[in-house]
Amino acid sequence: MRLLNHHALITGGGTGIGAAIAAALAAEGASLTLVGRRSDRLEATADSLRSTGAYVATAAADVTLRTQVDRAFAAAREAHGPVTILVNNAGAVQVAPFARLSEESWRGALAVNLDALFFCCQAALEDVKAAQNGRIVTIASTAGLKGYAYTAPYVAAKHGAVGLMRALATEFAATGLTANAVCPGFTATDIVEEAVANIAGKTGRSPDQARAELTRFNPQGRLVTPEEVAAAVLWLCLPTSGSINGQTIAVAGGEVM
């Protein structure tokens, strides 16, 4: 129980990578607050974790809105006290040629993939600075380390997410707070299944052929699992990882960046 007495707030905590991270941190004794837009998904994940004895609260919120972020953090503190671990996991991607991007699509991508980090990191800052072994871990993407076609706003935002973690790591190094980014490759989540459906719909390929188009980036020839990403996050949150700061950890099977 290496995270006993820690309180982890996880955005996008109801499904996919977020749910896997919640399970990994709960197994080490952390109390949890799961934040996301869909209350039903949050509660389903929370109930599953509660059945194992974990202490789990939920807070429905749109993390692109500062007022809702502040309200979610207030609810989290009321449930479990100060937030000592923040995991920025919420994100979304849209696929479109750059020349056809609208300003609305651009702004929307930056709102959920970058603005939300600003809001959540500021909301958590005083708590994680004051904590012994305070942690901020952001789920970025290999798109934060390289470029991919047809996802320019997502790539730009994820590069910004990596840069923000490096800036916070430097600014607050003397406090004991660490800030790091985990950069998964294509992972078996709803976002990837939506991408598979989009590729299949636009190209006439079968879902298996469309999925192969994504797995080809991974030299291991497969999708990353949410649990593999969660394992990297857990390691960064442990007290013994205090010297790991301002880093980007690719969970991508050896994909060349």
Active site residues: 154
Please enumerate in sequence order all residues whose Cβ is within 8 A of that of 174, keeping only pairs 6 or more positions apart, or say none: none
- Local structure of 223: helix, strand or coil: coil
The position carrying tokens 């429905």 is 60
- Please provide residue 61's backbone torsions phi and psi, each rounded to the nearest 5 degrees: -165, 150
Which of 3, 166, 164 lies closest to 83, judged by CA?
Answer: 3
- Across the strands, what pairs with 173? none
42 and 34 Cβ atoms separated by less than 8 Å = yes
Residue 105, H or E segment: helix 103-110
The two most distant CA atoms of the chain are separated, in Å, by: 54
Instruction: Retrieve residue 90's tokens.
Output: 């919420």
Q: What share of the chain is helix, strand, coil (3-state, %, to 5)?
A: 50, 15, 35
How many Cβ atoms are within 10 Å of 132's Cβ, its own excluded? 10
CA 175 to CA 157: how far, in whole Å? Answer: 27
73 and 9 Cβ atoms separated by less than 8 Å = yes
Q: Cα 116 from chain centroid? A: 11
123 and 116 Cβ atoms separated by less than 8 Å = no
